[in-house]
Amino acid sequence: MSEKEKIRLSGRIDSNNAPQLETDLLATLAGKNSTAIEFDAKDLEYISSAGLRVLLRIRKTYPDISIVNVSQEVYDIFDMTGFTEMMDVQRAYREVSIEGCEEIGRGANGRIYRIDQDNVVKVYKNPDALEDIKHEREVAKLALILGLPTAISYDVVKVGDSYGSVFELLNARSFSQILASEPEKMDWCVDEFVKLLRKVHDTEVPEGKLPDMKETAISWVQFLQDYLPNREWMKLMDLVQAVPKDNHMIHGDYHTKNVVLQGDEVLIIDMDTLAVGNPVFELASMFNAFIGFSEYDHVHVLHFMGFDYETSTEFWHRVLKAYLNTTCEAKVREVEDKARIIGYTRLIRRHIRRGGLETPEGKAEISFWKQKLISLIDNTDNLTFSLDEFETDASTERLADVQQFISEKLERADCPMKVCMQIEVAVEEIFVNIASYAYAPLSGKAKVRVELSDNPSSVSITFIDHGVPYNPLAKVDPDVHAEASDRPIGGLGIYMTKKMMDDVTYEYKDGENILTLKKNL
Amino acid sequence: MKIDLHMHSLVSDGTDSPAELLAKVREAGIGIFSLTDHDAIKGCMAIIGLLQEGDPAFIPGAEFSCRDELGKYHILGYGYNVRTGAMPGFIESSHNLRMQKLEARLDYMESELGISFPVQAREELFSLDNPGKPHIAKLMVRYGFAQSKEQAFYEILNHLPVLTSYIRPEQAIEAIIAGGGVPVLAHPSYGDGDQLLMGEEMEQRIRRLMGFGLRGLEAFYSGFTPQLRDEILGYADRYDLYVTAGSDYHGRNKMIVLGDTGLDETETRTERLESFLKDVMHEG
């Protein structure tokens, strides 16, 4: 086994003692299997060129050399002579106290405090956080390069026994602070919060630069194996596994303490959770921050965000609507339910890992989430969503939601009133058909997709269900000239639909009935 | 081809005899080498006597520790005439100067500080080819005047009055040229011991020594980072100087690997080294 040999350097190293140092080092290292050496330069006051040469010589035998806790003076020597490019030389860390400092942010890995008017420090929970800090710095740089407004730390400091990274954040206020003290700015906050969220989600990340959130989510699901009924657990795993790969960025901890206003610029901070993946994973962590975490005990959100549960609920709801670009409540619920599945999964795991099952209140809280999770799993077929699609129960009770979702899209497309009414009639015919027959006597889901295209301007509405294969177009058109009493019941609706639309097509593919209505505008 | 133009034998402060060194040079597959003992020519004479058909090419060398009002310098001399001319005499006087200094130091220590060593130990010291402060420090520890060599340096040796006689860089450079050799500044970034020179300071030093006749810079050196090496190569280009490559191998005294000069096969900036070799090997 090879391991890292730690050696302290102290005082002055110059031509008087450099030869002795070399002899001592060789004696220390002789007979050990160390392949790497870490020099602790905490007490090193000075190193002359004679000392530098000894380090270079040691490096010939032990290529993996690092020097830590280097004072600024000594670091300058290493830097000037090119040593910092040849070996890992780390400066000693300035000590910073956070006593009496305001906490302005909190994330999965640490807390952020304002240390003076211009600077904040993020203090990491993990006492051995240097790797984390390096990671965060790298991902923040990546985010900046990819065009996202963020702050990059310029110094690493010691805060008590932990490490912190220092950022310049001038007079910045978090959205939590703004919402807590100026509730009238809710509209503005929603707009800016969503604008930045979209920007994150529109950012493509080069392969391999960031972890895949789906893999993280799978590990959460794995944790729940012993805590969920097997059927639900397996379905949950299938649901997460089926989420398609996505190379767009997600922040991973996007809430109002991590979005700040600096001057007139909105910045996103706390970048250590940056990942790639489907936006549903982001919405899940947002749901937790605003709702899930405090759903059982509403006081949590006040402690965490600084505003009450009602404000939090309203903000979340409006953000989701704005993000999905819809006023259709049913559409918002569809997406929220998918996010909740991941959200509860994570919350339950988090609480169990923190000993939640050891106290009665903890147990109650976990069981509260578990019940919600189980019922959501039973009622969900997939975790993805699209702004152009609406997925709902194939039930006549949902017809109004479907109509609302479609009419909103048509209104935005300036669709003439007459055409809207024709489409409404056709949609009712098709959706009621699916609701009545596709899954009878059981129940299932139906998906409606609205696509608008220009040139020629037209709208397509596609209905998809997993029910029994059925082609309504295969029916012979009824004889509309026959006396009403002579006509068979049914079939007229499909006939009217075909008449009013410019094209109606049907196919059965991969277990799905796919019926598309097309209308020129 | 592997080249190492800077190494020491036990004639100065290395630990290999010239014969052992030659064997190691052969084994290391070095094609051209030079022995550069401090103020000494004996090792080179020995090597010349040992060389056989098919051995690596040898360039006689020497290293002089010089100083003047502006600093300390190590000057290398290459390809000089080892038997006649200016060099043998200059090397002898350098050696004598070293011995005089040693004597002066020991006398001062004895009369002013009450530090004296047995006659036998003193004689041992003078029998060395190249005795200096480290050797005195060793004796001080052996006879209980200091607990460590470091302490000997810090408390005594570094505070002894500085002797006013020393070799000035122009003396060494002039002697090397007069002896038919080529003077080169050793490890230019590291003047002597603790000095670290870069940038303007470095450039001024080079220009001043060129005024005395300096003709080359040891740009490839085991103790250089790529950054230091590149800086020196830049000066060689700017002032049209030769470039040399040396490890400064000292045997067991230092962890330097023979032949390690920082010059590898992929290096393309070798034109000035090649013209140096052409110069010293034809004339030497």
Q: Which CATH number belongs to the domain containing residue B69 in this structure?
A: 3.20.20.140
Contact A274, A251 (CB under 8 A): yes
Find which of A10, A14, A16, A55 to mutate to test the B interface (most B CBs within 10 Å of its CB). Answer: A16
Query: What percentage of chain A has pLDDT greater than the value 70?
Result: 96
Interchain contact B29–A (C-beta under 8 A) = no
Among B108, B140, B159, the domain boundary falls at B159
Q: CB–CB of B254 and A22 under 8 A? A: yes
Q: Whole domain around residue B263: which residue ranges?
A: 2-92+167-283
A353/A408 same-domain check = no
Q: CB–CB of A49 and B193 under 8 A? A: yes
Q: Which helix (H) or strand (E) holds B150?
A: helix B149-155
Q: What is the pLDDT of residue A92?
A: 86
A312/A242 same-domain check = yes
A372/A492 same-domain check = no
Interchain contact B136–A (C-beta under 8 A) = no
Give me the mean pLDDT over the B247-252 stretch.
91
A315/A426 same-domain check = no
A466/A510 same-domain check = yes
A412/A299 same-domain check = no
In angstroms, what separates the C-alpha of A10 from chain B's closest C-alpha?
Answer: 13
Say if A96 falls within a structural domain: no
Nearest to A449 by CA among A402, A414, A416: A402
Q: CB–CB of B225 and A17 under 8 A? A: no
Query: What percentage of chain B has pLDDT greater than the value 70?
Result: 98
Interchain contact A78–B (C-beta under 8 A) = no
Interchain contact A30–B (C-beta under 8 A) = no
Residues in chain A predicted with pLDDT less than 50, given as ranges, are 1
Question: Angle, nearest 10°, between helix axes A360-378 and A329-353?
Answer: 140
Say if A59 falls within a structural domain: yes
A360/A461 same-domain check = no
Encoding tokens for residue A320?
């989701």
B188/B273 same-domain check = yes
Interchain contact A85–B (C-beta under 8 A) = yes
B118/B242 same-domain check = no
- In angstroms, rounded to a whole number, what is the distance separating the alpha carbons of residues A41 and A65? 13
A402/A275 same-domain check = no
Encoding tokens for residue B128?
């060395």
Find which of B157, B230, B255, B261 to mutate to test the A interface (most A CBs within 10 Å of its CB). Answer: B255
Report the CATH number at residue A162: 3.30.200.20
B55/B174 same-domain check = yes
Strands A389-393 and B30-35: unpaired
Amino acid identity of B182? V
Residues of A in contact with B221 (CB under 8 A): none
What's phi and psi for B30, nearest 5 deg? -80, 130
- In angstroms, rounded to a whole number, what is the distance separating the alpha carbons of residues B95 and B111? 24
Say if A383 falls within a structural domain: no
Strand partners, A7: A39
A223/A157 same-domain check = no
Encoding tokens for residue A130?
């240097």
Contact B71, B46 (CB under 8 A): no
Size of chain B in residues: 284
Find which of A49, A52, A55 to mutate to test the B interface (most B CBs within 10 Å of its CB). Answer: A49
Positive or negative, the CA dihedral B231, B233, B236, B242 is: positive
Q: What is the pLDDT of residue A488?
A: 55
Say if A184 falls within a structural domain: yes
More confident residue, A268 or B255: A268
B208/B275 same-domain check = yes
Nearest to B247 by CA among B109, B61, B91, B69: B61
Nearest to B194 among A15, A81, A83 (CB): A15
- In angstroms, rounded to a whole number, what is the distance separating the alpha carbons of residues B2 and A501? 85
Half-sphere exposure of B103 toward its Cβ, with a 13 Å CA cutoff?
10
Residues of B in contact with A14 (CB under 8 A): 193-194
pLDDT score of B284 more than 50: no
In angstroms, what separates the C-alpha of A15 from chain B's closest C-alpha?
Answer: 5
Mean pLDDT of chain B: 91
Q: Whole domain around residue A147: which residue ranges?
A: 102-168
B174/B87 same-domain check = yes
Report the CATH number at residue A510: 3.30.565.10
Interchain contact B254–A (C-beta under 8 A) = yes
Q: What is the pLDDT of residue B238?
A: 96
Residues of A in contact with B200 (CB under 8 A): none
Q: What is the pLDDT of residue A490?
A: 57
Residues of B in contact with A58 (CB under 8 A): 255
A302/A424 same-domain check = no
B78/B126 same-domain check = no
> CB atoms < 10 A from the CB of A362, how many?
15
B74/B130 same-domain check = no
**Count of domains observed in chain B:** 2
Sequence-separated (6 or more) residues with CB below 8 Å from residue B137: B146, B149, B152, B153, B157
* Three-class DSSP category at B75: strand
Q: Which residue of B has its CA nearest to A56?
A: B223
**Count of domains observed in chain A:** 4
Tell me the residues of chain B between 181 and 240 that have a Cβ less than 8 Å away from chain A.
189-191, 193-196, 198, 222-228
Among B125, B140, B159, the domain boundary falls at B159
Q: What is the pLDDT of residue B75?
A: 96
DSSP A297-340: STHHHHHHHSS-HHHHHHHHHHHHHHHHT---HHHHHHHHHHHH
- In angstroms, rounded to a whole number, what is the distance separating the alpha carbons of residues A512 and A434? 12
Interchain contact A58–B (C-beta under 8 A) = yes
Interchain contact A23–B (C-beta under 8 A) = no
A374/A393 same-domain check = no
Contact A143, A251 (CB under 8 A): no
B116/B257 same-domain check = no
Alpha-carbon distance values, B161 to B93, B107, B157, B164 (Å): 22, 12, 9, 9
Interchain contact B148–A (C-beta under 8 A) = yes
B24/B134 same-domain check = no
Sheet holding A512-520, edge to edge: A389-393, A445-453, A458-465, A512-520, A503-509
Say if A241 falls within a structural domain: yes
- In angstroms, rounded to a whole number, what is the distance separating the alpha carbons of residues A321 and A333? 10
Among A319, A345, A378, the domain boundary falls at A378
Sequence-separated (6 or more) residues with CB below 8 Å from residue A138: none
Say if A97 falls within a structural domain: no
Say if A384 falls within a structural domain: no
Strand partners, A122: A112, A165
The pLDDT confidence band at residue B163, using thresholds 50, 70 and 90, is: low
CB crowding A350-361: b at 16 or more within 10 Å, else e: bbbeeebeeeee
B240/B198 same-domain check = yes
Judged by average pLDDT, the poorest of A242-256, A416-430, B95-109, B266-280 is B95-109
ipTM for this prediction: 0.81
A48: DSSP letter: -
CB crowding A221-245: b at 16 or more within 10 Å, else e: bebbeeebeeebbebbbebbeebee
A329/A449 same-domain check = no
- In angstroms, rounded to a whole number, what is the distance separating the alpha carbons of residues A449 and A439? 20
Amino acid identity of B86? A
More confident residue, B161 or A75: A75
Q: What is the pLDDT of residue B283?
A: 47
Encoding tokens for residue B189?
């970034």
Say if A222 falls within a structural domain: yes
Apex CA B122: angle with CA B120 and CA B126, to 5°?
115
- In angstroms, rounded to a whole number, what is the distance separating the alpha carbons of residues A287 and A435? 31
Nearest to A445 by CA among A405, A390, A403: A390
Report the CATH number at residue A295: 3.90.1200.10
B49/B174 same-domain check = yes
pLDDT tens for B48-93 read 999 999 999 999 999 998 988 888 899 999 999 998 889 999 999 8
- In angstroms, rounded to a whole number, what is the distance separating the alpha carbons of residues A331 and A320? 10
Q: What is the pLDDT of residue A1?
A: 47
B102/B193 same-domain check = no
- In angstroms, rounded to a whole number, what is the distance separating the alpha carbons of residues A199 and A203? 6
What's phi and psi for A454, nearest 5 deg? -100, 160
